[in-house]
Chain A
Amino acid sequence: MTTISLRKLIAGSSIALGLAGFGSTALAQDAAQDEGPIRVGILHSLSGTMAISESTLKDEMLMLIDKQNAAGGLLGRQLEPVVMDPASDWSLYAEQARDMLTGDDHVDVIFGNWTSASRKAVLPVVEELDGLLFYPVQYEGEESSENIFYTGAAPNQQAIPAVDYLMSQGVERWALLGTDYVYPRTTNKILEAYLKANGVADDDIMINYTPFGFSDWQSIVSQVKDFGSQGKKTAVVSTINGDANVPFYNELANQGISAGDIPVVAFSVGEQELTGIDTAPLVGHMAAWNYFMSVDSDANYDFIDDWVAYTGNDEAVTNDPMEAHYIGFNMWVQAVEKAGTTDVDAVKDSIIGVTVPNLSGGASTMMPNHHITKPVMIGEIQDDGQFSVVWRTPTTVAGDAWSDYLPDSRNLISDWRAPLRCGKLDVESMTCEDGPGAE
């Protein structure tokens, strides 16, 4: 008896469960259009070379979404993260962005990418399928897409102010070291033009590129040492990316180059990268960013507290791309609230001019060229792996999509507002080379 009744019970309850499940999915599908959750795509590599930098951004996005949901969601709906892992493979970024924008998930916005190569791969996809992408990393500029919002720094928000600062410190010779790909090459081209415009001779500029993950720095560092011992104050401007930085700084320390002799200012080294290095010999080397974990502001302290609580790691660090996602996410939330819908075209229009607080105590505004305003800071490395801010711009600086220092892009601007709607407008001839305004 008991066995039969048990079997019946199981059978009956599974049918009931199945029905209930069916019912709920059917209901969910009906309501998906405006009642279901808003889907937020997170496209950061969780495996492969870039996992070192990108996996924390995924966690940060999950934290921001959690927080937003706890505060009642958005437009009365919950946010639902859709996480994919493009495995540091540029073509996989494009494929997964396509999946996110077309498949069952159909996300309303994507936060993602790190390297310029992956962004360039995703760009045609989000333009074709009319998606939204928030890109949080400093990049080389010379690009403007109707569907991408660049919350990281353009060269004029990082590289140029850093060089200005070093010039004010009496630097006359420049070694531009970078990893061999598009961001360092374009940035160095801009810097070279800028330095020459400021009267620096050809002989006083040294440019060197190394492959990704390079670790054999000895001869290059010794070359820099030689270059810097010719009697003029020398600085290294580093666009070395990723984990090649650790052996580079170790080699600097071992060859006895201190920040007092030849300071290094880096554009890709933040708190995250320094966790892998003993920073005692590096004290005084610099980085230029729009945010440092050591910035004094209550917004920053709150953010760090949240992050430490979320990760459960007392040593967890925050960095500039994390601030960029923080700003980008809040801007998107405000833009959706303003538009009253998650519709991409409506959000694209409503987000321009949106101002949200940043973590350094001020506020950032989305500009018509899809770049944002940010303060620029120079920090010196401390022996605890943090940066101490030694200089910052008095006001925020608006990102410039097209550099003023390259002959090809000097006359170009980008403005995605209604009448113009152009990503590449030649202000001299007033012709639009890219965007709906071109027609």
Chain B
Amino acid sequence: MIKIEHSAGRSPTRLLAHSLLLCLLMAWGSCLSQTAAAALGEPQTEALSKAEPQALLEALDTGNFRAKGDAAQAIADSDAEQKTRWLQALLDGRLGKERRGERFYIITDDSGREWPIIDAITFEDAGSGTRRTVDVFRINNDLRTRIRGLLASLSLSAGDEASRLSAAKRLIGEISAENAASVRKMRDDEKSPSVRDQLDIGLALFEVQQGDAKALDTLRGNLDTRVRNTLAPIAAGDSALAAEAQAVLGGIESKRAWYDRAQTLFFGLSAGSILVLAAIGLAITFGVMGVINMAHGELIMIGAYTTWMIQQALPGQPGLALALAIPGGFLVAGAFGVAIERTVIRFLKGRPLETLLATFGLSLILQQLVRSVFSPLNRRVTSPDWLQGAWQINEALSLTLNRLAVLLFCLVVFAGLWALMRHTRLGLEVRAVTQNRAMARAMGVRATRVDMLTFGLGAGVAGLAGVALSQLTNVGPNLGQGYIVDSFLVVVFGGVGNLWGTLVAGMSLGVINQVLQPWVGAVLAKIIVLVGVILFIQKRPQGIFPPKGRTS
């Protein structure tokens, strides 16, 4: 049996939290009522557990969150059949009381302004309610955590391994003299090795706190921040353990530092992959045709809006919509690109300044067009489930899935473009026109057609960048603006018209930026990168990979 008593220096909520954890872990039904008793500071009354459903719900109708929590506890302890549904509805913000009456309702669907409701006690249909008629019970962060704990323990009659594991993890740093013995017993009874490992860490941490040097071995190289936070004061103190704890702590810190570096590298590559995606279309148009296309950012935006529109057409299937958006974004933005080339750029050949101004004007027109057609407000593009969250490699290193996906996508797009340029007739013609336009035409290459297709290709790749960006940032009329300067920076830094140059330049600028950011802040990091590129261009005007041949 677990003994829970109020001890000096421990707040009741914390005591409650950790006894709840123990409940979770051991799934003892009787434990719950004890927790309640501990929280209330008085023995459980018989009347409470047998109270009428009405009275149980009545107790929730209070502005005081602590009292509300106790009422939720009483519901969990009662033998009301509806208790799980009540607690779930309370957690979801769907349990409410009639505003001028005594009935309680559960809202079955809270979207829109008029909700279908059912009676909370009988579960009978009660028509519809609005905010004017139903007063929904509010909960706050602490209460939310508490209700989740209650629900978890209610559904934990079997106590599967996953919930035992998460409870064991939460016990680290929470073990004290009061519960150490019962945790030890639990550890001995535990069959799952992973749960046992977590319990071992928790127990070792407790033993180190008690001055046991041997337990330090278990903690060597552990990356959990709670281990580090507990060891730090011990290492700084002057107990017999201090020197050894210091050594273990040093080991942990250096291991963490390595993972931190790996994480920074990942951040840099992921930031770089966005730059590469945004810039690579520009590298094609700028490099091959010498067109300074200021509307490139808006082509990115068009790709992002295409993603949004496809998602609107396929509600509830964000994954499929995203997959369709990849060809969709390419085609739509590519079509815009071809149209721009045919209607504007073709007539301004060889006049870079006028092309720059005309495309700048185009970018403003496209932005305002989107504002008028859709709205100035940002559109919401949902990410599919498999792009949310992070790949947790260990306690110190996790890679967010959406950025990992964008990084891979960038590499795929790059490989595809590279293959296109190397191994297809179009690629051959494009390279021929880049190297010597007049000679290529003399050899029978239709340069104007190549121009059109090249521009369409560059625009299509910009559309692909837009599809990727819709997963990372806002889809709105201003989306493209933020990337146009960066894109030119990458292209110029990498060497005009060189795909490898764009890749290396984009990735290195991303990494440099992310390395600098924690030291000097986002604003200064950007300035330093800009100044660095300008200085580099002074030394090597052709960029990292200058074009071969007799161009200079």
Q: Is there a chain B Cβ closer than 8 Å to A14's Cβ?
A: no
Residues of B within 8 A of A277 (CB): 380
Say which residue of A55, A208, A384 sits within 8 Å of B521 (CB atoms).
Answer: A208
Q: Are A260 and B144 in contact (CB under 8 A)?
A: yes
Q: Are B398 and A216 in contact (CB under 8 A)?
A: no
Stretch at the interface among B25-33, B106-114, B198-206: B106-114
Among B112, B145, B401, B517, contact of A219 (Cβ-Cβ < 8 Å): B517
- Which residue in B93, B226, B401, B521 is a CB contact (below 8 Å) of A254? B401
Contact indicator per residue, chain B 515-532, by CB within 8 Å of chain A (1) or not (0): 001100111001000000
A52 near B377 (CB under 8 angstroms)?
yes
Question: CB-CB contacts of A243-258 with B at 8 A, as 1s and 0s?
Answer: 1001100110111100
Bound CA–CA A390/B68 (angstroms): 12
Q: Judge whether B449 is part of the interface by a CB distance below 8 angstroms.
A: no
Interchain CB contact under 8 A, B474 and A223 = no
- Distance (whole angstroms) from the CB of B444 to the closest CB of chain A: 46
Task: Indicate if B361 sits at the interface (CB-CB under 8 A).
Answer: no
Q: Could you give, for residues 169-209 of chain A, a 1 whenever the CB lies within 8 Å of some chain B CB and a 0 otherwise?
A: 10000000000100000000000000000000000000011
Q: How far is the CA of A296 from the CA of B97 in the complex (A)?
A: 13
Are A52 and B263 touching (Cβ within 8 A)?
no
Q: Which of A208, A216, A281 contacts B271 (CB 8 A)?
A: A216
Residues of A within 8 A of B225 (CB): 229-231
Closest to B230 in A: A231
Cβ-defined contact, A389 with B138, below 8 A: yes
Asked whether A52 lies within 8 Å of B144 as measured between CB atoms, the reply is no
Interface mask (B381-415 → A, CB under 8 Å = 1, otherwise 0): 01100001110100000101111000000000000
User: Contact residues of B with A, CB < 8 Å?
Assistant: 65, 92-93, 110-113, 131-132, 135-136, 138-142, 144-145, 225-226, 229-230, 263-264, 267, 270-271, 274, 368, 371, 376-380, 382-383, 388-390, 392, 398, 400-403, 472-474, 476-478, 482, 513-514, 517-518, 521-523, 526
Which residue of chain A is the closest to B403 with respect to CB atoms?
A: A218
Contact present for B379 and A388 (CB under 8 Å): no
Chain A residues closer than 8 Å to B371, beta-carbon distance: 47, 51
Closest B residue by C-beta to A207: B521
Residues on the A chain within 8 Å of B135, using CB: 296
Q: A216-B271, A255-B390 are in contact. Are A46 and B141 (CB under 8 A)?
A: no
A246 and B517 contact, Cβ closer than 8 Å, known pairs A231-B229, A254-B400: no
CA distance A276 to B190 in the complex (A): 46
User: Would A219 and B518 count as touching, CB distance under 8 A?
Assistant: yes
Task: Check A118 for interface membership: any CB of B closer than 8 A.
Answer: no
Chain A residues lying within 8 Å of B93, measured Cβ to Cβ, are 382-384, 388
B92 to chain A, nearest CB (A): 7
Q: Cβ of A275 and Cβ of B140 under 8 Å apart? A: no
Q: Which residues of B contact A223 (CB under 8 A)?
A: 518
Contact B390 A219 (CB under 8 A): no
- Nearest A residue to B266 via CB reads A218
Q: What residues on B are CB-neighbors of A47 within 8 Å?
A: 368, 371, 376
9 contacts between A and B (CB under 8 A): A51-B477, A55-B376, A169-B141, A210-B522, A231-B229, A243-B478, A263-B141, A278-B382, A301-B131
For B229, the chain A residues whose CB sits under 8 A away are: 229-231
Q: Which residues of chain A are within 8 angstroms of B263 by Cβ–Cβ distance?
A: 222
A216-B274, A218-B271 given. 17 additional CB < 8 A pairs? A49-B478, A51-B477, A55-B377, A208-B522, A211-B523, A214-B522, A231-B225, A231-B226, A231-B229, A243-B476, A255-B400, A256-B389, A298-B132, A301-B131, A314-B112, A380-B140, A389-B138
Q: For residues 352 through 370 of chain A, which have their beta carbon under 8 Å from a beta carbon of chain B?
A: none
Q: Nearest residue in A to B478 (C-beta to C-beta)?
A: A49
Residue of B nearest to A308 (CB): B113
Give per-residue flags for A47-90: 1 if the beta carbon is below 8 A from chain B beta carbons, else 0: 11101100100000000000000000000000000000000000
A380 to B513, CA, bound (A): 34
A213 beta carbon closer than 8 Å to chain B: yes
B138, A254: Cβ atoms closer than 8 Å: no
A274 to B, closest residue via Cβ: B380
Which residues of chain B have C-beta atoms less than 8 A from A255's C-beta?
A: 390, 398, 400
Q: Which of B65, B110, B378 contacts A52 (CB 8 A)?
A: B378
Closest to A87 in B: B368
A256 touches B398 (CB 8 A): yes
Interface SS of chain A: loop
- Interface check A259, CB cutoff 8 A: yes
Query: How far does the Cβ of B139 sit from chain A's closest Cβ, in whole Å?
Result: 7
Contacting pair B141 A210 (CB below 8 A): no
* A220–B478 CB distance below 8 A: no
Whether B267 contacts A218 by the Cβ 8 Å rule is yes
- Inter-chain CA distance A218–B517, complex, in Å, is 10
Closest to A392 in B: B63
Residue contact A384 to B111, C-beta cutoff 8 Å: yes
Q: Which of A55, A169, A246, A263 contacts B474 (CB 8 A)?
A: A246
A215: interface (CB < 8 Å):
yes
**Cα–Cα, bound, A254→B371 (Å):** 30
A residues with a Cβ closer than 8 A to B are: 46-49, 51-52, 55, 169, 180, 208-211, 213-216, 218-220, 222-223, 229-231, 243, 246-247, 250-251, 253-256, 259-260, 263, 275-278, 281, 283-284, 294, 296, 298, 301, 308, 314, 380, 382-384, 388-390
Q: Are A247 and B390 in contact (CB under 8 A)?
A: no
Taking CB atoms, residues of chain B closer than 8 Å to A314 are 112-113
A-chain residues with CB within 8 Å of residue B523 when the two chains form the complex: 180, 209-211
Q: Which of B264, B377, B518 neighbours the largest number of chain A CB atoms within 10 Å of its CB? A: B377
Give B517's nearest chain A residue, CB to CB.
A219
Do A52 and B472 have beta carbons less than 8 Å apart? Answer: no
Q: How far is the CA of A382 from the CA of B139 in the complex (A)?
A: 10
Contact, CB under 8 Å: A260 / B145: yes
| A45 CB to nearest chain B CB (Å) | 9
Interface centre among B398, B402, B518, B522 (most CB of A within 10 A): B522
Shortest beta-carbon contacts, A-B, top 7: A51-B376, A231-B229, A215-B473, A229-B225, A390-B140, A254-B400, A210-B522
Q: Which residues of A contact B522 (CB under 8 A)?
A: 208-211, 214, 216, 220
B-chain residues with CB within 8 Å of residue A389 when the two chains form the complex: 138
Asked if B131 and A254 make an inter-chain contact with CB atoms under 8 angstroms apart, the answer reads no
Find chain A residues with CB under 8 A from B517 CB. Answer: 219-220
Pairwise interchain contact A222-B267, C-beta atoms closer than 8 A: yes
- Report the bound CA distance from A298 to B398 in whole Å: 48
Q: CB distance B388 to A254 under 8 Å?
A: yes
Q: How far is the CB of B518 from chain A (nearest CB, A)?
A: 6
Residues of A within 8 A of B110 (CB): 384
Nearest-Cβ distance from residue B379 to partner chain A, whole angstroms:
7
Q: How far does the alpha carbon of A250 sit from the alpha carbon of B521 in the complex, in Å?
A: 20
Q: In whole angstroms, how far apart are the Cα atoms of A229 and B252 in the complex?
A: 15
Instruction: Give the distance to chain B from A55, nearest Cβ to Cβ, in Å.
Output: 5
Partner of A301, one of B132, B226, B382, B513: B132
Contact of A276 among B144, B274, B379, B521 (CB under 8 A): B379
Contacts of A380 in B (CB 8 A): 140-141
Q: Is the CB of A284 within 8 A of B390?
A: no
Cα distance A213–B140 in the bound complex, in angstroms: 30
Across the interface, name the chain A residue whose C-beta is closest to B469.
A215
State the CA gap A48–B93 with chains docked (Å). 37
In the bound complex, residues from chain A placing their C-beta under 8 Å from that of B513 are: 216
Q: How far is the CA of A138 from the CA of B112 in the complex (A)?
A: 29
Q: In the complex, what residue of chain A is closest to B148 when comparing beta carbons? A: A260
Residue in A229, A246, A281 whose beta carbon sits within 8 Å of that of B378 in the complex: A246
Min CB gap B22→A, angstroms: 19
Q: How far is the CA of A219 from the CA of B526 in the complex (A)?
A: 14
**A216 vs B500: C-alpha distance in the bound complex, in angstroms?**
24
- Using known A-B contacts A220-B517, A255-B398, A275-B377, determine if residue A215 contacts B141 with beta carbons closer than 8 Å: no
Say yes or no: B473 contacts A211, CB within 8 Å.
no
The answer to whether A253 and B476 have CB atoms under 8 Å apart is no
Report how far A49 CA is from B225 CA in the complex, Å: 40
Residues of B within 8 A of A296 (CB): 131, 135
Residues of B within 8 A of A214 (CB): 522
* CB proximity of B177 to chain A, nearest CB, Å: 20
- Known contacts A254-B388, A256-B389; A213 and B482 CB within 8 A of each other: yes
- Determine the chain B residues whose CB is within 8 A of the CB of A250 once the complex forms: 383, 402, 472
